[in-house]
Structures are given as structure tokens and as C-alpha cells.
């Protein structure tokens, strides 16, 4: 997008923002320290796509996984996703409505069980018994019909859609995007979406290359850059000017 500012043409624009995070050591069954990368889009509803290769518990009925969803505010991001027979998927807040302790993933005969004071909930969040008086908050799910389920988080002001952006075992994130000749591209990293930053981060042009570039000219073709996040989570924006 080209914006007019003070009568001057400001050609600097955001090409793309992605969110990265190191998710879920332990509880969700994917390897500790694994980098997840998602694309941030303008919009009101965040959509988090869970591929079954990353969450194999969801390949079968009664499979259940507890995780923190990257890019979602911490008040909403701790969820339990459960698959029930007939391709029914449920996503609910993991926080017990009694005193906020995390419930366990679904187990037959136990439901979603809170170990603190033994409240129990159905996979869809409905309270069954225990000191908790109300049901768990639930989120809409969208089954792909094959190998993934999406979870919707409404009213966030932005959306996050998982996108295939490679995260290397060495901890780098690969950014791939189309470029225009005559334009310069740089990358910025922020802790939250609202942070204002103007300092470009250094990137490499190959996975094993030196992280010493701060901008690069577009070629008219596909560009691949690699950055090394210094924190566990944050937002990466590709700038074009």
C-alpha cells in the first residue's frame, strides 16, 4: 500500500507480518523448543490451523491435546482440543472455571479433569461435576475434512493463520516472499504487534550464512531470507520500500 503523509509519497509499507513462537514443551506432545511460525493478517478473528502431523493426538477419536496458541493473548491462548467420534472437534479454554487451574486433556471416564479440586468437564467444555459452577469457554472449530483442524479466536483485532514458513532446527526462521525490482526489503522484529520498531534485524541469505544483511534489493523473483530470533516469541514484519 502507498500512503500519503504530509503531502509526501511514503512508499514504505508492510509486506507481511508473521508471528513466531517456541511452543509447548511437553504438554502438547510436540518436541520442546519447536518453532512455530504463523502469518498475521488484518481482521478480527484469529484462525489457528493445527495440522495432525504436528498434533498426532488429533488423528484419532478421543485424542486430546493441551497447548498455548501462538499469537493469541495469554488470557485466551491456553486451550484443550479434543477429537470425538464422527469427526467432532472441540476447542475449549484449559482454565478451570473454579480457580483457574489447567484441566488435563480428555481421558475416557475422566473427561477434562481439573486436578486441583476434581472438577470435570465434557470435551465441549460443559461442566459435569465438581466445585466449578460454570462450563469452560469454547471456541469454534473448523475441520478441514482431512488432516487439520482450525480454531477461531474472535475479537482480537488481528488474525493469525498458520502458514508454511520453515523453522530450521538451528532455530532460524526462513522467510520466503515475492519481490519487485527497484524495491528494497528489510525485516523488523517486535515483541508484540503494537510495539513500534524501526531498527531492521540482520538476516542471512542462506541457512548457514552470516547474519549480516539489513536490506536487500528485490529481483522480481522469489526471495529467501533467514533470521535468528533472539527471543522465544515475537512478530516479524517484512518491510518494502
Residues in contact with ligand FES by CB under 6 A are: 96, 98-99, 101, 114, 116-117, 119, 130-132
CB of 23 to ligand FES, least distance (A): 24
C-alpha cell at 88: 467432532
Nearest distance, CB of residue 80 and ligand FES, angstroms: 13
Q: Which is nearer to ligand FES, 108 or 133 (CB)?
A: 133
For the chain, the helix, strand and coil percentages under 3-state DSSP, each to the nearest 5: 0, 45, 55
Q: Of the two residues 16 and 127, which places its CB atom closer to ligand FES in the complex?
A: 127
The distance of closest approach from Cβ of residue 100 to ligand FES in the complex, given in angstroms and rounded to an integer, is 6
**Torsion angle in degrees (nearest 10) through CA of 5, 8, 14, 15:** 150
As a whole number of angstroms, the distance between CA 177 and CA 238 comes to 9
CA distance 51 to 49: 6
User: What is d(CA 56, CA 28) in angstroms, rounded to the nearest whole number?
Assistant: 10
State the Rg of the chain over Cα.
20
- Cβ distance to ligand FES smaller for residue 31 or 131: 131
At closest approach, how far in Å is the CB of 127 from ligand FES? Answer: 10
Smallest distance from ligand FES to CB 99, Å? 4
Q: Which is nearer to ligand FES, 34 or 126 (CB)?
A: 126
CB-wise, 82 or 179, nearer to ligand FES? 82
Closest to 48 (Cα-Cα) out of 125, 139, 138: 139
Amino acid at each position: 500500500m502507498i500512503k500519503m503523509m504530509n503531502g509526501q509519497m511514503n512508499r514504505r509499507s508492510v509486506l507481511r507480518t508473521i508471528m513466531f513462537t517456541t511452543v509447548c514443551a511437553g504438554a502438547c506432545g510436540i518436541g520442546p523448543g519447536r518453532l512455530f511460525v504463523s502469518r498475521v493478517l488484518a481482521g478480527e478473528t484469529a484462525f489457528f490451523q493445527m495440522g495432525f502431523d504436528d498434533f498426532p493426538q488429533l488423528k484419532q477419536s478421543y485424542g486430546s491435546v493441551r497447548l498455548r496458541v501462538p499469537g493469541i493473548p495469554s488470557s485466551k491462548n491456553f486451550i484443550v482440543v479434543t477429537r470425538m467420534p464422527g469427526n467432532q472437534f472441540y476447542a475449549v479454554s484449559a482454565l478451570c472455571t473454579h480457580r483457574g487451574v489447567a484441566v488435563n486433556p480428555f481421558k475416557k471416564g475422566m473427561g477434562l479433569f481439573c486436578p486441583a479440586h476434581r472438577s470435570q468437564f465434557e470435551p465441549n467444555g460443559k461442566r459435569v461435576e465438581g466445585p466449578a459452577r460454570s462450563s469452560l469457554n469454547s471456541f469454534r472449530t473448523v475441520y478441514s475434512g482431512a488432516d487439520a483442524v482450525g480454531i477461531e479466536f474472535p475479537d482480537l483485532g488481528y488474525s493469525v493463520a498458520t502458514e508454511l514458513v520453515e523453522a530450521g532446527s538451528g532455530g532460524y526462521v526462513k522467510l520466503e516472499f515475492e519481490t519487485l525490482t527497484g524495491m528494497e526489503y528489510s525485516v523488523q522484529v517486535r515483541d508484540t504487534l503494537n510495539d513500534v520498531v524501526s531498527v531492521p534485524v540482520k538476516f542471512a541469505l542462506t541457512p548457514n550464512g552470516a547474519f549480516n544483511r539489513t536490506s536487500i534489493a528485490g529481483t522480481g523473483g522469489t526471495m529467501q531470507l533467514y533470521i535468528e530470533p533472539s527471543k522465544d516469541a515475537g512478530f516479524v514484519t517484512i518491510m518494502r520500500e
